[in-house]
Amino acid sequence: MGDRDVAVVVATAEGASDSEQFDLLHELREHDQLDNAGGQVAFGAARLLAASGDPSDLPSVARLSLQAHQDGIEGAGLIHAEASDKIALYTGRPQLYGTVMLEHQGDIVQPPVDKRISDQERAELGVPSMEELQRRMATLSRRLAVDRAAQPGWLPEGQRFCRVWTNPEPAVLRARMASEGTTAWADGDAITFVAESASPVTVTPAFPIETWDAGDGLQVLSLRVERLDEAVITYTFTPTDGMPSMNFRRGSHDGRFRGVNAPPELASNDPLLGTSVEHAVDSDALGERRKVTVYRPLGHAAGDNTPVIYATDGNMFAPYARRLDAAIEAGICPPVVIVAAHSASFDPIRGNLRAAEYLPGFDEQVYTAHQQFFMNELPAWAEAELGVPSAPTRRGIWGCSDGGGHAAMAARLFPERFGHAFVYSTGMPPDMTYEWTDEHPFMHLCAGTLEGPFHQATEAWAGYLMLVDAPYHFTERVAGHDLVQWAEELPHAINRAWG
């Protein structure tokens, strides 16, 4: 193709209207002279194809702009860098030069950049230094946050929260911290977190966004949050190069915010009225002794038909036990026994064995072995040692996060085993081809609006169960991937099941 010279096609397209350009760009792409274009013609062709926004044009844009750059055309190197960065990101690799910036959670962010590329190499293509690119990114993010702060109630479409900024003064922040007695507070629909730190932190687990420096050693994150008045947000200030806390001891977090219309806080018993005891259960399926934490309410006796819930993540059970014990004492829910098997620890060679045990698709051998332990060996041990009931109507299964996925799969695969499944913040949506019958358990679902994909997957379960006319209850809280929402929901779900 190419009755006209490629230079004529480029020149014509550059002066054409949008409607005329469509056919001209098709002609340009198919032109047999395009591969050999150079100089201003290659530069013009690269600009036209880059402006089209078609990802399939990027290899041609990168090649033509590089040729134009090598021919000394000013501005061609930057187009080459931008096309190369987009190609890298589309193919799952770090961008080379750092020219691509995206909007994420309302901020302008820079996707990963290949650290092997030097600022000198950037400069040779007309690309600013990394420091300058990041300065521009921060300036644009701050401008957007200031604009949003002036629009009360406004959130970007599809977002539950976004950053806002009012240029707070350090003295004002310190005075507010003193008067509130906390490091987080609400003003209308905006929440402000303040950390004493010389370097940025993130507010985990709900908001994986870096704080901004407010001066005087204060780091600040201000966010507009949908339904903030209903929120319960436990937070820890985590260094940006650190990991979120997995410490569940009392007082191990930096604070907890509770909105004025949030669910009332449940009491917590310490010490317990009941008992929480760690056991070790022999497992042929796992080829080891697996630790199991057992909670027994005050007055429990073997064979008294108290309902039993089999749970995952027994190593994290302590905060649940404190709230459940207090809820039983207050009459919020009836007594239950919890048999909570501990999760597998992280293996530096085999990786995340917890996920492999709880979810299908990672390691079928590991998953199958854990299913045999959890579904057969663990109940047999509990019935023999603790005298818990075997009737499905008096048995439940419960898990949170990956443990929630485990509970959902067990409920689907073994409907005759449990009368109730407590599935909290699963990240695994249902397969819409599942055949759900009257034998399947009542599904108690819970997730927080600030959990992203965990909320989406749990909400998908609610939608699926509604479509198949199955019995379920979905509690939606304004919370992140936070143990507190699950611990406060569990007694209410137990009361729905057996109250």
**Mean per-residue pLDDT for 221-249?**
81
Query: Are the C-beta atoms of residues 462 and 469 closer than 8 Å to each other?
Result: no
| pLDDT per residue as tens digits for the range 396-451 | 999 999 999 999 999 999 999 999 999 999 999 999 888 999 999 999 999 999 99
- Select 275-498's CATH number: 3.40.190.10, 3.30.470.30, 3.40.50.1950, 3.40.50.1820: 3.40.50.1820
Query: Are the C-beta atoms of residues 225 and 190 closer than 8 Å to each other?
Result: yes
pLDDT for position 236: 94
Place of tokens 């569990």: 490
Query: Are the C-beta atoms of residues 258 and 248 closer than 8 Å to each other?
Result: no
User: Which residues, 6+ apart, have CB-to-CB distance to 109 below 8 Å?
Assistant: 101, 102, 103, 137
- Under the banding of pLDDT at 50, 70 and 90, the label for residue 271 is very high
pLDDT for position 19: 84
Helix or strand or coil: residue 122? helix
**C-alpha to C-alpha distances, 256 to 164, 205, 234, 264, 316, nearest whole angstrom:** 20, 12, 4, 13, 19
**Nearest residue to 474 via CA among 466, 304, 482:** 466
Joined tokens for residue 181: 């007695």
Is there a common fold for 161-258 and 275-498?
no
**Mean per-residue pLDDT for 50-70?**
95
In the chain, the N- to C-terminal Cα span, in Å, equals 77
Q: How many Å apart are CA 424 and CA 481, to the nearest integer?
A: 10
**Mean per-residue pLDDT for 306-329?**
98
| In the predicted structure, residue 474 carries a pLDDT above the cut 50 | yes
Specify the range with the lowest mean pLDDT, choosing from 165-174, 202-211, 301-310.
202-211
| pLDDT per residue as tens digits for the range 86-118 | 999 999 999 999 999 998 877 888 999 999 999
Measured from the Cβ of residue 90, the count of other Cβ atoms closer than 10 Å reads 10
Q: How many Å apart are CA 350 and CA 365, to the nearest integer?
A: 13
| In the predicted structure, residue 245 carries a pLDDT above the cut 50 | no
Please state which CATH number belongs to domain 161-258: 2.60.40
Q: How many Å apart are CA 254 and CA 488, to the nearest integer?
A: 19
pLDDT for position 346: 72
Q: How many Å apart are CA 148 and CA 157, to the nearest integer?
A: 13
User: Which residues, 6+ apart, have CB-to-CB distance to 347 below 8 Å?
Assistant: 353
User: Which residues, 6+ apart, have CB-to-CB distance to 122 below 8 Å?
Assistant: 81, 97, 98, 128, 129, 130
pLDDT for position 202: 93
| In the predicted structure, residue 18 carries a pLDDT above the cut 90 | no
pLDDT for position 247: 42
pLDDT for position 242: 53
Q: How many Å apart are CA 458 and CA 96, to the nearest integer?
A: 37
pLDDT for position 21: 87
| In the predicted structure, residue 129 carries a pLDDT above the cut 50 | yes
pLDDT for position 352: 85
pLDDT for position 244: 46
Query: Where do the domains of the chain lie?
Result: 6-127, 161-258, 275-498
